[in-house]
Amino acid sequence: MALTSTSDVYYDPYDIDINADPYPVFRRLREEAPLYYNDRHDFFAVSRYEDVERGLLDRDTYISGRGGILELIKADIEMPSGVVIFEDPPTHTIHRSLLARMFTPRKVAALEPKIGSPALTASTRLSAAVGSTSSLTWAPRCLCG
* pLDDT of 121 strictly over 70: yes
Is 125 within 8 Å of 102 (Cβ atoms)? no
pLDDT on residue 6: 58
pLDDT band at 1 (very low <50, low <70, confident <90, very high): low
pLDDT on residue 85: 82
pLDDT tens per residue across span 17-50: 999 999 999 999 999 999 999 999 999 999 999 9
pLDDT band at 72 (very low <50, low <70, confident <90, very high): confident
**Rounded Cα gap, residues 142 and 145, in angstroms:** 6
**First and final CA of the chain: distance in angstroms?**
38
The fraction of the chain above a pLDDT of 70, given in percent, is: 84
pLDDT on residue 139: 40
The verdict on pTM exceeding 0.75 is no
Is 4 within 8 Å of 35 (Cβ atoms)? yes
pLDDT band at 136 (very low <50, low <70, confident <90, very high): very low
What is the average pLDDT score of the chain? Answer: 81
